[in-house]
Amino acid sequence: MKTLIKGGFVIDPKSGKNGLFDIIIDKGKIVEIGNDLEFTTGDIVDVTGKYVIPGLVDAHCHLREPGFEYKEDIETGTQSAAVGGFTSIACMPNTNPVIDNESVVKYIINRAKQDGFVNVYPIGSITKGQAGEELSEIGELKFAGAVAVSDDGKPVMKASIMKKALQYASMFDITVISHCEDLDIAEDGYMNEGYQSTVMGLKGIPSAAEEVMVARDLILAEYTNAPIHIAHVSTELSVDLIRNAKKRGVKVTCETCPHYFVLTEDACEGFNTLAKVNPPLRTQKDVDAIIEGLKDGTIDIIATDHAPHHIDEKNVEFASAANGMVGFETALPLVITYLYKTGVLTLEQIVEKMCVNPSKILGLNKGSLEVGKAADITIIDVDEDIIVDTAKFKSKSKNSPFNGYKLKGAIYYTIVNGKFIVREKVLL
């Protein structure tokens, strides 16, 4: 059955479309985009007053399967992603077993085919078991279907290994995503080192821990002339280093997450473990720099770093609590509220950062609305008020510091390969 999406305002930077257009979907693909389209029988969806954008692409999330299914699995994770407007997500390899070989890549791809609600792309690990000692079979990972490699969750502490990884991965045209954290400087801290950590008596993680490794990896990327993608940028100096490296012609791209431009270390006050994340929440100065970095293009994409944890891992002493927050269902509303409504980014720029650029970095044929391409479409109302209710999250885990937040932005429809996964804000 054909579907007509009628009356919506289409934003598609890749094709330059920015206006009222109707879209016809058939057999999972976009077959027509235009006005006054001929449409006889089928499913007509009236989206007057709403924005029609390419399905969101998340370059950084944790689905916890295999190995940690008590936190989340591919089924619930993709449901959560769909509700948040994501149609393609790339999942990090810090699972158990680690995605360091072909069989785990294939396992995830198959599980996603069976029970996934959106497109799932595995990210392989840089080193075997993410132990930081020996390179994974990066070529095999790529050919099995991995879209990037990363040891995320952990940094690659050995500079020599990172250098070799950059050289080796670039040969296969697969991006290395670096989690920058010098563990020697971080030294088992629990939150950003600063006023809040002093007041709360919690060992702090100096921002230098991130920045030292960002600098190292930028230099290695320049030296090897290999592309690198810096994960979850959170500090002012990190942004500045990357800005400078781009000026020098280094093939670097980078991402940030909503919590790094919405929250500061103050969110940890009262020992709030829901605000405990790695990299930690920083200061207002860093938030301002992240926003500036998004504005001037230094920061290429916005990713969620969706990191589900069981309530028993958060309802403990701050020092013992797990790092991370879920993010699929709050990402777009936070972006709309804090970046669009404040005039920092236009909707077009947001689509670039959440659809076009992530697809480019991961080598995916996604992120745009074009005739002949898979119908991955997200339809949103940017003016609708919502109140975040973590109890209603589709994710197995509810660890979010945004419960109760009043935001703007409702995801009405999420269409994956032409199929309605979310219709009228309801997961089907």
Partner 1 sequence: MMLKSKDLLGLKDISAEEIEHILETAKTMKYILTTNNKKTPHLQGKSVVTLFYENSTRTRLSFELASKYMSSSSANVSASSSSVSKGETLIDTAKTIDMMGTDVIILRHPMSGAPHLIAKNVNASVINAGDGMNEHPTQALLDMFTIYEKKGSLKGLKVAIIGDIMHSRVARSNIWGMTKLGAEVSVAGPSTLMPVGIEKTGVKVFSTIQEALIDADVVMGLRIQLERQKKGLFPTAREYSKFFGLDNKRLKFAKKDALVLHPGPVNRGLELSTHVVDGDQSCINEQVTNGVAVRMAVLYLLTRRNSGENIN
Site residues, partner 1 (CB under 8 A): 193-195, 197-204, 270-271, 312, 315-320
- Rounded distance between C-alpha atoms, residue 427 and residue 331, angstroms: 17
Q: Please report how close the Cβ of residue 278 comes to partner 1 at its closest, in angstroms.
A: 18
Contact between 294 and 256 under an 8 Å Cβ cutoff? The reply is yes
C-alpha to C-alpha distance for 138 and 128, rounded to whole angstroms: 10
> Concatenated DSSP letters for 138-159?
HHHHHHHT--EEE-TTS----H
For 286, the enclosing helix (H) or strand (E) is helix 284-295
In the complex, minimum distance from the CB of residue 203 to partner 1, in angstroms, rounded to a whole number: 7
> Which among 286, 186, 280, 277 has a CA at the least distance from the CA of 237?
286
State in angstroms the smallest separation of the CB of 193 from partner 1: 5
CB nearer to partner 1: pick between 143 and 195: 195
292 touches 204 (CB < 8 A):
no
3-state secondary structure of 342: coil
Quote the least distance from Cβ 183 to partner 1, whole Å: 14
Considering the complex, state which of residue 202 and residue 379 has its C-beta at the smaller distance from partner 1: 202
Q: Which is nearer to partner 1, 110 or 198 (CB)?
A: 198
Q: Which is nearer to partner 1, 269 or 389 (CB)?
A: 269
Work out the angle at residue 302's Cα, subtended by the Cα atoms of residues 272 and 178, and round it to the nearest 5 degrees. Answer: 85
Pairwise CA distance, residues 296 & 262, whole Å:
18
Looking at beta carbons only, is 225 or 284 nearer to partner 1?
284
For every residue of 1-47, DSSP letters joined together read --EEEES-EEEETTTTEEEE-EEEEETTEEEEEESS----SSEEEE-
Residue 382 tokens read as 């940017």
Burial class (CB in 10 A: 0-12, 13-18, 19+), 167: middle
Least distance to partner 1, CB of residue 280, Å: 13
**Catalytic site residues?**
305
For the bound state, the minimum distance from the C-beta of residue 269 to partner 1, rounded and expressed in Å, comes to: 10
Nearer to partner 1, 125 or 273 (CB): 273
DSSP β-ladder status, 29-34 and 426-427: unpaired
